[in-house]
Amino acid sequence: MKTHTAESQASITPDKALQILKDGNERFVNNLKTNRNLLQQVNETREGQWPFAVILSCIDSRTSAELIFDQGLGDVFSIRIAGNVVNTDIIGSLEFACKVAGSKLIVVMGHTKCGAVKGACDHIEMGNLTELLSKIHPAVYQEKDTFQVEQRNSKNDLFVENVSTINVKRSVKAIIDRSYILEQMIEKGEIAIIGAKHHIDTGIVEFYDDTLISDKSDVREQMSS
């Protein structure tokens, strides 16, 4: 597969970028990895990079974006932090990826059985991790399907997955709420953003269509929700 160039990146729309990732994940799940010459890609990207998408995901060792979307060197920006939470530095990185480097799609990707989410569900406090997990706590409190207090912890798999999904959707909204640059790019149709979850037992990435924000009407709807 050819390495992306400035021309090929410019020709990709947000919708096309999403389809490329979906197709890549399908190849990954079916063990049909694209044959790439990685050394050649090293040489072809030494003068510059033109990633078509930027993926915010967890540091979990099983969720490498390049692998599960079957992408090569120079294809995607990968931002990784425990619990795929959002902070100022991450939003700045997203702004660089899209406004400066030309990426067309932002994916916020959580995953099943997330240790950071479990820690937040159990209200773990440990050094600097305490502050990180506090960013997931709003998703814990927002989960309304689990009524019994004794079930609202990491031992309840359904509760954990509900919180994980809510956390992804909150992160999507937070990015738009906190970045005027990205908001304006979406309104102009230059980029889009969507949430997703990687199922580590199957390798399948589930995209949340209800989180897709790709135009001005989507932004206004998101702001009013």
Residue-wise pLDDT tens digits, 80-136: 999 999 999 999 999 999 999 999 999 999 999 999 999 999 999 999 999 999 999
**Residue 91 corresponds to which tokens in the numbers above?**
């939003």
Confirm whether 140 is domain-assigned: no
pLDDT in tens, 165-211: 999 999 999 999 999 999 999 999 999 999 999 999 999 999 999 99
Confirm whether 19 is domain-assigned: yes
Q: What's the pLDDT at 47?
A: 73
Q: Look up the domain containing 42 and give its range.
A: 6-112+165-224
CA 111/CA 203 separation, integer angstroms: 10
Please, what is the average pLDDT of the chain?
A: 93
User: What global pTM score does this model have?
Assistant: 0.94
Bridge partners, 78 (sequence order): 55
Q: What's the pLDDT at 80?
A: 97
Confirm whether 92 is domain-assigned: yes
> Which sign, positive or negative, has the C-alpha torsion 87, 88, 91, 97?
negative
Confirm whether 141 is domain-assigned: no
Confirm whether 147 is domain-assigned: no
**Domain containing residue 202: CATH number:** 3.40.1050.10
Confirm whether 189 is domain-assigned: yes
CA 150/CA 121 separation, integer angstroms: 11
Confirm whether 202 is domain-assigned: yes
- Provide the number of structural domains found in the chain: 1
Confirm whether 136 is domain-assigned: no
pLDDT in tens, 146-170: 999 999 999 999 999 999 999 999 9
CA 133/CA 169 separation, integer angstroms: 16
